[in-house]
Amino acid sequence: MTPFVRHAGRVAALPRVNVDTDQIVPKQFLKRIERTGFAPVLFHDWRYRADGSPDPAFELNQPAAAGASILLAGANFGCGSSREHAVWALREHGLRVVIAESFADIFYANCCQNGLLAVRLVTGEIAELFARHTRAAGRYDVVVDLEAQTVVDDAGFHAAFSIASYHREMLLRGLDEIGRTLLAEGQIAAFERERWNAEGGTAGRASDLAVPRSDFRVPRSGEGDVA
Amino acid sequence: MTPRTLFAKIWDAHVVHRLPLPDGPELLYVDLHLVHEVTSPQAFEGLRLAGRRVRRPELTVATADHNVPTGDRALPITDALAARQVGALAANAREFGIELFDLASPRQGIVHVIGPELGLTQPGMVIVCGDSHTSTHGAFGALAFGIGTSEVEHVLATQCLVVMRPKTMEVRFEGAPASGVTAKDLILALIGRIGTAGATGHVIEYTGEAIRGLSMEGRMTVCNMSIEAGARAGMIAPDDASFAYLAGRPRAPEGERFTRAVARWRRLKSDDGATYDARVTLDAARVGPQVTWGTNPGMVADITARVPDPAGFASAAERQAVERALAYMDLQPGTPLEGLPIDRVFLGSCTNARIEDLRSAARVVRGRRVAAGVRALVVPGSQQVKAQAEAEGLDRVFREAGFEWRNSGCSMCLGMNPDILASGERCAATSNRNFEGRQGRGGRTHLMSPAMAAAAGIAGHLVDIRRWA
């Protein structure tokens, strides 16, 4: 994962609340089995008219938004489906930061996994950023500093944001979370042993772990290949 | 000992270790990992690239549901990309030793329908899946939540997940719902009350007389839509209804082991005096049949209401969102919801395609005909539900009324397969999301209960099921 320390860039504004991941990447584009190829379909149904031409009314199609790397949006950004494709599309489009009053939980976790910094600011700060973006006719730049946990512009805007130290570390260092967890292999194995040995275990399946797999499989047809 | 919530009991029992950070997440053990074709291929590819294996293939179960056609199963999938994705799941399942319920299996179905149906879903478990509606499994007193593809890869590789401990919210439904008011109406009423971000960062525990009175199917409908209120998960303490549902299921413990499991499961309830971070109480007796009018599940009203006026909303952001939604839905403020003409009916999805849902819809349509110009579709939640419905003759009831009777899958809930709305079509749907374009670009979705959707198909317009003769 690309580390995120500090980023200066152009802001694109999407003043809509509850932007769901179905809008960020519509379902008809979820059939790819790769992590790439999603930038062209980012916000597809908003970005393009039914005939495939760009809709000039859509905020991200405005000339000033070209090359923007910071997205400013309304509250509850990324709600709905868990599709990580939404984050892959935003990243591939060149976005490094999304700033909003709030984010949906799964979307926020997906951002942390992909080096996309999701910055939560309070209502007044978000309103001020939108106002400055409008006054600058969309030619508005800010600096987002993860080490300092601040968003600033060169005209006096200054906002501090909070982020869990775990997520901050992950982003700052571009960590591979799986590699990190595998360092706890001893603890995971010990946890499993304890639960198998416990009479009944703490959850339904714990006691089943010791049962040979063939004992609790149901017969199935058509194993493997799909028609 | 400090009284604990149901959530805390399950969480605490699954903490492998707490990371040494002040606000540190915890490493949580996963008992059951459900996998489907759309959110897993990149995760398996990640394992291959890193030379990693699936740590616990026996705790991992896969099915193809999201993009699969619901027509004749003997025919190949004509959409090349969909076929490649389903093929990738089969290849990955083989390579990594994961059990797969594929299109040829009589156990295939929507992942959140087959988990409980197989008895894989059990009280006290931590269950994850790369799908936001994983919250469904919480109906059994499990902690179940949706994750992204990177986290799917993490669980495949480690059988654990790094998670921040969420907050808790009690949602209490007091009183008994009136006749014609279903689990779907209760959960839609909640989302209407607290909004689509009302429970963000929280795990909801549903309590109260109305919840206790629900069947397991109804409880699954309620927990399923927890995510539409922004919740990380939804859960209900298990009771005799849960144990009766699980008894005899293929993967549930048998005999003496089942008896011991039930004794253990009975302890899975919030202690008296346990505290929640937030509390919401609704009077179920005052909830009417609900129908959505906008483009998110929080834009919902009683069927007797009228399309709201954007001017009546408090904030500029809300007014703008409502104006946008009404333009998309082609609705004028003040229009009565009852009587709104529809073009399509979709009976399906992980929210409302279980046997009880099909029975309730069949009761409404029996001996009647779908209105002229309306196209109606029944997509059972699993092949087992389909077989059960056919054994009860429900397929004939639907077919004779002019409904199409399909094979199982997610189908028109998200329209990844050929089942989609045409632009401008208005659909009475039993699914969970009315987002713009969800069921097809330009399509207009009204969410409601199975009986309401079925009745709308017969009448050709939205109706109040309480006045259905």
The 10s digit of each residue's pLDDT in B208-258 is 999 999 999 999 999 999 999 999 999 999 999 999 999 999 999 999 999
Let me know the angle formed at the C-alpha of B358 by B356 and B361, rounded to the nearest 5 degrees: 110
Domains of chain A (ranges plus CATH)? 6-177 (3.20.19.10)
Nearest residue to B277 via CA among B19, B7, B29: B7
Identify whether the C-beta of residue B108 lies closer than 8 Å to the C-beta of residue B60.
Answer: no
Q: Which of B10, B160, B320 sits opposite A181 (nearest CB)?
A: B160
pLDDT at residue A215 tops 70: no
Query: Closest residue of A to B20, CA-based?
Result: A166
Give which of A79, A90, A169 to mutate to test B binding, by max B Cβ within 10 Å: A79
Closest Cα in chain B, distance from residue A6 (Å): 23
Give Rg (Cα) of chain A.
Answer: 22
Q: Which of B75, B130, B436 sits opposite A23 (nearest CB)?
A: B436
Helix (H, G, I), strand (E, B) or coil at B168: strand
Closest Cα in chain B, distance from residue A34 (Å): 6
pLDDT at residue A204 tops 70: no
Report which residue type is found at B439: Q
Residues of chain A contacting residue B16, judged by C-beta atoms under 8 Å apart: 184, 187-188, 191
Distance CA B26, CA B160 (A): 10
Helix (H, G, I), strand (E, B) or coil at A3: coil
A183 part of contact set with chain B, CB < 8 Å: no
Joined tokens for residue B120: 């894989």
B105/A177 Cβ within 8 A: no
Owner of token pair 């309306």: B374
Joined tokens for residue B234: 């939804």
Q: Which of A17, A18, A33 sits opposite B88 (nearest CB)?
A: A33
pLDDT value of residue A1: 81
**What secondary structure letter does DSSP report for A103?**
B
**B76-86 pLDDT, tens digit each:** 999 999 999 99
Identify whether the C-beta of residue B115 lies closer than 8 Å to the C-beta of residue B21.
Answer: no
**B129-181 pLDDT, tens digit each:** 999 999 999 999 999 999 999 999 999 999 999 999 999 999 999 999 999 99
Residue B469 binned pLDDT confidence (cut-offs 50, 70, 90): low
pLDDT value of residue A195: 84
Q: For B64-114, where are the E strands, in sequence order?
A: 99-101
Helix (H, G, I), strand (E, B) or coil at B371: coil
φ, ψ dihedrals at B385, nearest 5°: -60, -40
ipTM, two decimals: 0.96
Nearest residue to A33 via CA among B409, B48, B113: B48
Distance CA A102, CA A115 (A): 18
pLDDT value of residue B22: 83
Query: Closest residue of A to B129, CA-based?
Result: A82
Residue A226 binned pLDDT confidence (cut-offs 50, 70, 90): very low
pTM: 0.95
Give percent above pLDDT 70 in chain B.
100
pLDDT at residue A206 tops 50: no
**B264-294 pLDDT, tens digit each:** 999 999 999 999 999 999 999 999 999 999 9
pLDDT value of residue B24: 83
B85/A205 Cβ within 8 A: no
A104/B261 Cβ within 8 A: no
A156 part of contact set with chain B, CB < 8 Å: no
pLDDT at residue B458 tops 50: yes
